[in-house]
Structure 1
Amino acid sequence: MTTMDTPKSTENSRVSSWRLLARNPVTLVSALVLVVVAVVAVTANWIAPFGINDIDVPNALQPPSGAHWFGTDELGRDVLSRILVATQASMRIAVVSVAFAVVVGVTVGIVAGFRGGCLDTVLMRVVDVMFAFPVLLLALAVVAILGPGVTTTILAIGIVYTPIFARVARASTLGVRTEPYVAVSRAMGAGDLYILRRHILPNISGPLIVQTSLSLAFAILSEAALSFLGLGIQPPEPSLGRMIFDSQGFVTMAWWMAVFPGAAIFVIVLAFNLFGDGLRDVLDPKQRTMIEARGKR
């Protein structure tokens, strides 16, 4: 009965969590913003009013107007169009790199936490070595070795955030593997793969979902930082970080070149962080209990 009841209770808990999440207006607004960003990222090439590399020197450094809502840059290119396509590139890199970190990091963390022993010690020491390097410094080292570019940026960001997911997965697995329903399932003859799929993964998904949302925000910042330094997305493909870098010589005469790309980064990162905070509140048992108590009062 224990092995049969656990999935049902987990499913009911998820339903309750989503209901509590829907009551948080800040989380709902941030989710709506992320949906809009996702739609923009998918349709950027179709909704951009101008080509991203359409040079129009006579109309260079034009302020925001009806023709160019976000103005033009030093080459007369439409800033809005470039921001839309740059958002698409940033989201693509963030999603792929974080997906890489989730797959590798969660696999390492679950194996280390579930198996324990020498394997746990060896894997966690490797993770600790990776943690010893600052995030941006480690990403710069990877890019410096492999060379700049989109693929290298994805790999660098993925490697940087892999140990984070490994630690989260391991810590959560250590708490779940000693639960009675895991022991009962093992006593009934269930194999390790069945236990991992049926009991471990569903019960550690909460912290991993929250960490994924937060990591997406930092991946956006990491990509912008690498592109700002000239090590990320390479011209002529636009990047939010590169657009800010190119605006440095025109800040006093063309403020829009820096403000709008910076605002795009700010809104996306803030939305991911607020959405992650909302997820943490409803998926954490203590926070959920407090929210439910406030709702009853």
Structure 2
Amino acid sequence: MTPPLTENPPAGRVSSWRLLAGNPVTVASTVILAVVLVVAVGAKWLAPQGINDVDVPSALRGPSGAHWFGTDELGRDVLSRVLVAVQASMEVAVVSVLFAVVVGVTIGVVAGYRGGWVDTVFMRVVDVMFAFPVLLLALAIVAILGPGITTTMLAIGVVYTPIFARVARASTLGVRVEPFVQVSRTMGTGHGYILIRHVLPNIAGPLIVQTSLSLAFAILSEAALSFLGLGIQPPEPSLGRMIFDSQGFVTLAWWMAVFPGAAIFVIVLAFNLFGDGMRDVLDPKQRTLAEARRKQ
């Protein structure tokens, strides 16, 4: 009996995992994001002290063995508050970006696949939303609905929806004219089946990269809203709010601003570098360049 034929990868083709593993920057960003994920899941168990345990005699003490990141003006442990604030920032970022992905991709795929007046109406609405600066639109939404973590998630999700809509539409316009889509249409296959089975898998690459980058900007947006007092509300710690509260103690307690700011910087940088690494693998042109560099 003849054994079944197996499809071999093209000669010299480097697997996606090897290509990612061969980029030290991507590996480092992946490790950092893995640590952030652990913190986001178990921050309240990892925090050495309570986030609102006031100890006035220990106020404004620098980093030490008892308080690795020092204490704030009320004697609260900065490390504990940073860990819980990272958890809150990640929660806001993930939920808001997930909302933007679901709504934006749905709008973009339907507009790109159907075309005509549907495309015109949907994309004109997206263009109107793009006319407003991201932070200004988020501020307007929070100001109308009131500050809080739920409205912060909604505001950030709404302002990043148009980005996913445009990315999904642009990719769908290229996929819908492919022969396999045309054949499926000719055979009478339902539109829903075509979108789920053929279109979405073939536009996943750009969407994955955009998701990674949007998570970084969502964390920045949450920190900005909290800094302005419109995001996560006290007594829950937030990285942006911690930086705001440290303004009057910059010369006395530099650690109150440095550690929350460093947390934002590291997480945002890791997401951006991870997104660049994913783009090198998922974008055919970038992948070819990456494989060429690897062979040199």
Q: TM-score under structure 1 normalisation? A: 0.94
Match of 2:227 in 1: 228
Show the counterpart of 1:116. Answer: 115
Letter in 1 for 2:153: I
2:295 and 2:253 map into 1 onto residues whose CA distance is 53
2:31 corresponds in structure 1 to 32
Q: Determine whether 1:63 maps to 2:62.
A: yes
Could you tell me which amino acid in structure 1 is paired with residue 274 of structure 2?
Answer: F
1:238 and 2:237 matched: yes
Question: Which whole-Å CA distance do the structure 2 matches of 1:294 and 1:216 have between them?
Answer: 29
1:285 deviates by 0.6
1:172-211 paired onto structure 2 within 5 Å: 172-211=171-210
Confirm whether residue 219 of structure 1 aligns to residue 218 of structure 2. Answer: yes
Partner of 1:186, secondary structure, is helix
Count of residues in Structure 1 that have an aligned counterpart in Structure 2: 287
Aligned equivalents of 2:43 and 2:77: distance in 1?
A: 14
1: distance between equivalents of 2:262 and 2:48? 19
| 2:257 match: secondary structure | helix
Instruction: After superposing the two structures, state which structure 1 stretch, 41-50 or 19-28, moved more.
Output: 19-28
In structure 1, the gaps of 5 or more residues are 1-7
Alignment pair present for 1:163 and 2:162:
yes
Q: Give the AA of the match of 2:71.
A: T
Question: Which moves more between the two structures, 15-24 or 259-268?
Answer: 15-24
Structure 1 residue 276 corresponds to structure 2 residue 275? yes
Structure 1 vs Structure 2 CA RMSD: 1.5
Cα deviation for residue 9 of structure 1 reads 10
Cα pair distance change 1:165/1:191, threshold 3 Å: same
User: Which runs of 5 or more structure 2 residues have no equivalent in the other structure?
Assistant: 1-6
Q: For 2:256 and 2:56, locate their aligned partners in 1 and report how far apart those are by CA, in whole Å.
A: 15
Shift of 1:294: 2.3
Q: Post-superposition shift, 1:189?
A: 2.2
Q: What residue number does 2:4 align with?
A: none
Alpha-carbon distance in 2 for matches of 1:223, 1:292? 37
Alignment partner of 1:95 is 2:94? yes
SS for the counterpart of 1:185 is helix
The one-letter amino acid of 2:108's match is G
Aligned to 2:292: 293
Quick one: distance in 2 between partners of 1:295 and 1:221?
Answer: 34
2:19 corresponds to: 20
C-alpha displacement of 1:188: 2.0
Q: Which digits, 9 at most, give the CA deviation of each residue in 1:132-158, with x for residues without a partner? A: 000000000000000000000000000
Report the Cα distance in structure 2 between the residues aligned to 1:27 and 1:50, rounded to whole angstroms: 33
- Counterpart CA distance in 1 for 2:295 and 2:59 is 59
What is the distance in 2 between the residues matched to 1:221 and 1:294? 33
Three-state SS of the structure 2 residue aligned to 1:50 is coil
Measure the CA separation in 2 of the matches of 1:266 and 1:17.
Answer: 28
Higher helix share: 1
Aligned counterparts of 2:295 and 2:147: Cα–Cα separation in 1: 54
Identical pairs, percent: 83
